[in-house]
Amino acid sequence: MEERLQKILSQAGVASRREAERMITDGRVMINGAPVTELGTKADPSRDNITVDGKPVTVEEKRVYILLNKPVGYMTTLKDPEGRPIVTDLLKGLGVRVFPVGRLDYNTEGLLLLTNDGEWANSLAHPRHEVDKEYLVRVRGTVTREQITRLEQGVELEDGKTAPARVAVTKQSDNNTWISITIHEGRYRQVRRMCEAVSLSVVRLRRIRYGALAIGELKLGEYRRLTPGEVAALADGRKRGRR
């Protein structure tokens, strides 16, 4: 079935619709070997050969939604020039190409969503939807009330002040403290940088919740498919915004 070209690129996970429109007007997209620059152009991905920068675009007919408990030491990309392990290496037997929704850095573990539904992924990752993401952070030493207040109110980073966060101490000893931090932004290494900004040294960082989804009892390196109800609940939470 024919669809607008920017919708096809979004569904394939190439880019958001707005970014796809720029790709088209910049002449980076071709259909059956011919460049396309008109935004109203339609194509049928099951019949037409669509490429972006010379690379073929494939739209999977069956939508797949995965929750992975990412271990430390895996890159949240589809390939790594340094040859480090990537998260899709953990999805043996899946049989479908998927890509990550957002990122967790190399030294961060926990809940990561993957899918082949580009529009769903792009909408979840868009800042305006303010999807809550909860992290458990182990830091060295004790945490003061002043440090918690600063994290809650937002801290100045090199790319601007962070939005207010929800912060709570979950366990504390003389040597280490576990704190829960819930944010709805998605800046690069944001939680680590927030902690550094208030002089907290991060020892371990785990994402345990994304919107309505929790990591539960899933072991490190394991994954499962989301149920239709979970996919719908996450989408519903996205539409209503942050509670």
Q: pLDDT by residue (tens digit) across 4-59?
A: 898 888 878 787 788 889 999 999 999 999 999 998 899 988 889 999 999 888 87
- Please state the separation of Cα 135 from the chain's center in Å: 14
Name the DSSP letter for residue 127: G
Packing angle, helices 118-125 and 228-240, rounded to 10? 40
CATH number at residue 171: 3.30.70.1560
In this prediction, residue 53 carries a pLDDT of 93
Question: 26, 44, 105, 159: which one is catalytic?
Answer: 105
138 CB-near residues (< 8 Å, 6+ apart): 176, 177, 178, 202, 203, 204, 205
Q: pLDDT of 114-170, one tens digit each?
A: 998 888 888 787 666 678 999 999 999 999 999 999 999 999 999 999 999 999 999
User: Token digits for 164?
Assistant: 């207010």
Q: How far apart are CA 89 and CA 221, in angstroms?
A: 10
Q: How far apart are CA 126 and CA 145, in angstroms?
A: 32
Average pLDDT, the chain: 90
Question: Domain check: are 95 and 201 in the same one?
Answer: no
Alpha helices in the chain (DSSP H): 5-11, 17-25, 118-125, 145-153, 190-197, 228-240
Residue 117 annotated among the catalytic residues of the structure: no
Q: Cβ-count burial of 173 within 10 angstroms (0-12 exposed, 13-18 middle, 19+ buried)?
A: exposed
Which residue has better confidence, 14 or 178? Answer: 178
Question: Domain check: are 77 and 147 in the same one?
Answer: no
Q: Are 161 and 198 in contact (CB under 8 A)?
A: no
Q: Are 220 and 109 in contact (CB under 8 A)?
A: yes
Q: How far apart are CA 58 and CA 45, in angstroms?
A: 7
User: Token digits for 62?
Assistant: 């069956």
In this prediction, residue 237 carries a pLDDT of 60
Which residue has better confidence, 85 or 118? Answer: 85
Identity of the residue numbered 163 = A
Question: Domain check: are 123 and 217 in the same one?
Answer: yes
Q: Are 148 and 167 in contact (CB under 8 A)?
A: yes
Question: Domain check: are 219 and 161 in the same one?
Answer: no
In this prediction, residue 10 carries a pLDDT of 81
Question: Domain check: are 220 and 112 in the same one?
Answer: yes
Q: pLDDT of 116-126, one tens digit each?
A: 888 888 878 76
User: Which residue range(s) make up the domain with 83?
Assistant: 65-127+213-240
Question: Domain check: are 37 and 145 in the same one?
Answer: no
Question: Domain check: are 220 and 118 in the same one?
Answer: yes
CATH number at residue 47: 3.10.290.10
Q: pLDDT of 203-226, one tens digit each?
A: 999 999 999 899 999 999 999 999
Question: Domain check: are 122 and 138 in the same one?
Answer: no
CA angle 183, 185, 186 (to 5 degrees): 115
Question: Domain check: are 100 and 219 in the same one?
Answer: yes
Question: Domain check: are 115 and 88 in the same one?
Answer: yes
CATH number at residue 235: 3.30.70.580
Question: Domain check: are 199 and 141 in the same one?
Answer: yes
Question: Domain check: are 100 and 160 in the same one?
Answer: no
The number of folded domains in the chain is 3
